Amino acid sequence: MPWSRLRVSSYLTRVSDPRAQDSTVQRVSDDFLVTRSDTAEAVVLQVSGAVDIITAPSLATHLDAALADTPAVLIVDLTKVDFLSSAGITVLVEAHRLTEGSPTSLRVAADGSATSRPLQIVGVDKIVDLYPTVADAVRGEHP
């Protein structure tokens, strides 16, 4: 099956077509928010709050919507995330799997004990391009 037909969210849960709803901003809980910004350089999904078993499916839905547009660069900004569970890490790994061999470069901005440390502990930093800031991710340069 071609990469573009697969969905990150299908790995976690069945969801409705994310393009059928406004996917610019979605709030699932009081402390979780995903905001999409399309720039000339990249599509950026800025995530804030806790990414856990409750909110990870929403992140997957946003990733699906962004990947459906086949951007050259997709950045997941986790710099405002204060908790990243194994469910959130699974979403990122699945997104990476779906972008392998695709025209989309997946990059993750994560800096801090709540995000980059768990990703490094489980070895995700070995397969996903991690950057400390969105600006570094846009440039594709590791400091």
For the CA atoms of 57, 94, 33, 71, the dihedral, rounded to the nearest 10 degrees, stands at -120
Q: Report the sign of the C-alpha dihedral through residues 56, 60, 65, 66, in that order.
A: positive
Q: Containing domain of residue 45, as a range?
A: 3-139
Q: pLDDT band for position 16 (50/70/90)?
A: very low
Task: Identify the CA nearest to 96 among candidates 105, 88, 87.
Answer: 105
Res 89: pLDDT: 98
Res 31: pLDDT: 87
Please tell me the total count of domains within the chain. Answer: 1
What pLDDT, in 10s, does the model give residues 71-89?
A: 999 999 999 999 999 999 9
Q: Decide if pLDDT at 68 tops 80.
A: yes
CATH number at residue 7: 3.30.750.24
Strand partners, 40: none
In angstroms, the Cα distances linking 65 to 34, 125, 142 are 12, 24, 27
Query: Could you tell me what percent of the chain has a pLDDT over 90?
Result: 76
Q: pLDDT band for position 30 (50/70/90)?
A: low
In angstroms, the Cα distances linking 46 to 24, 36, 74, 86 are 10, 6, 11, 19
DSSP state for residue 43 in the 8-state scheme: E
The whole-model pTM stands at 0.82
Q: pLDDT band for position 20 (50/70/90)?
A: very low
User: Residue 78's Cα: distance from chain center in Å?
Assistant: 8
Q: pLDDT band for position 51 (50/70/90)?
A: very high
Neighbours of 24 (CB within 10 A): 12
Across 5-18, average pLDDT: 45
User: Do residues 98 and 3 make contact, with C-beta atoms less than 8 angstroms apart?
Assistant: yes
